[in-house]
Amino acid sequence: MAPTNLYWMQAGGCGGDTMSFLGGERPDIATLIKGAGINLLWHPSLSNISAPEQRGLLDSLDTGGTPLDVLVVEGSVVRGPAGTGMFDARGGRPRKDLVVALARRAHHVIALGTCASFGGFGVASEIDATGLQFTRAERGGLLGESFRSGSGLPVLNLAGCPCHHDVLGGTLMALQAGVELALDEFQRPLDWYGTMVHQGCTRNEYHEYLVEEEAFGEKGCLFFHMGCQGPLTGGPCNKHLWNQRSSKTRVGVPCFGCTSPEFPADSPFFATRNIEGIPLALPKGVKRAHYMAYKAMAAAAAPERLKTRSTEV
């Protein structure tokens, strides 16, 4: 099998997705790259080629002289000021133009992280950030709604702040093996984004019986008062644990909904918007009338061990 040429571009972001990738353990990144048959043409943290060599590589990719199998873009695309993209330029050329040129040559295009997928932190600012094919939940982005890579697929959005390294690793292995990835409405692979962060949360039972918390350091559910987005957000965080053992909710921190197109939200992270104690945003697919009736009964039926936060069965 021919090696897969992969070019990794750092755009307008913090590099957190690279840090996540470097933390991969099963397999580690060296084993992953070798096992997936990846020829890493360039990575901003791992590559060690001279500036003239980098320019020559980009020219060869731009003209099609060097095949580009996978383009990975990390960070949002900066369009400011006034649509010029000159807030983020390389050698006098806006990086956004380089992204477009390489995307047109690539067999697969991956938007790594929520900023690359949906624009993230810089959308409502003077840098005028966007994702590759979405701006928040609106289709279009930099490349346009109709964009398709050489494979016929749209941009693959691997959302997260950062994206879990297992999601990127699994996606690369699937592409190399020719496995078809089913996508959701935001072009995220369903294998990782088809379940709610809430599923697998160790605080689930507290949620079901409306045993809630109003301060950090307690054991109850964080959805009703503490701003947890777990029941609203599709993501792998309680399916693929960080460091093979943890997630935000498992250590008592609310899910921020970082895989969502609307991340970061305008509302505070640690408060749940509500009317008379009823959350404005309900778990995905739940009708408000059904929710209110069910939760009233559930609270009345809560086992004493949950009310007292006892670990005894």
Tokens for 75, please give them.
């960070």
Torsion of CA 177, 182, 185, 186, to 10 degrees: -20
Q: Which of 192, 212, 237 is the last residue of a domain?
A: 192
Tokens for 87, please give them.
């807030």
Q: Which of 192, 211, 233 is the last residue of a domain?
A: 192
Three-state DSSP class for residue 67: coil
Domain tally, the chain: 2
Residue 131: the pLDDT is 98
Integer angstrom CA distances of residue 146 from 134, 149, 241, 246, 311: 11, 10, 35, 38, 53
Contact predicate 254/229, CB 8 Å: yes
Q: Which of 144, 170, 192 is the last residue of a domain?
A: 192
- Which CATH number fits the domain that encloses residue 288? 4.10.480.10
Q: What is the pLDDT confidence band of residue 2, given thresholds at 50, 70 and 90?
A: low
d(CA 119, CA 115): 4
Average pLDDT, integer, range 142-164: 97
Residue with tokens 């009708």: 287
Q: What is the pLDDT confidence band of residue 1, given thresholds at 50, 70 and 90?
A: low
Please tell me whether residues 58 and 94 are part of one structural domain: yes
Average pLDDT, integer, range 155-175: 95
Domain hosting residue 310, numbered range: 195-313
Please state whether beta strands 4-10 and 38-42 pair in parallel, antiparallel, or not at all (unpaired): parallel
Q: What is the pLDDT of residues 78-127, one digit of tens each?
A: 999 999 999 999 888 999 999 999 999 999 999 999 999 999 989 989 99
Q: What is the pLDDT of residues 25-82, one digit of tens each?
A: 888 888 888 888 899 999 998 899 998 999 999 999 999 999 999 999 999 999 999 9
Instruction: State pTM to two decimals.
Output: 0.91
Please tell me whether residues 97 and 243 are part of one structural domain: no
Q: What are phi and psi of 53, to 5 degrees?
A: -65, -40
Please tell me whether residues 268 and 313 are part of one structural domain: yes
d(CA 125, CA 87): 12
Rounded (to 5) percent helix, strand, coil in the chain: 30, 15, 55
Please tell me whether residues 188 and 210 are part of one structural domain: no
d(CA 258, CA 264): 7
Residue 189: the pLDDT is 98
Q: What is the pLDDT confidence band of residue 298, given thresholds at 50, 70 and 90?
A: confident
Please tell me whether residues 72 and 212 are part of one structural domain: no
Residue 312, pLDDT above cutoff 70 = no
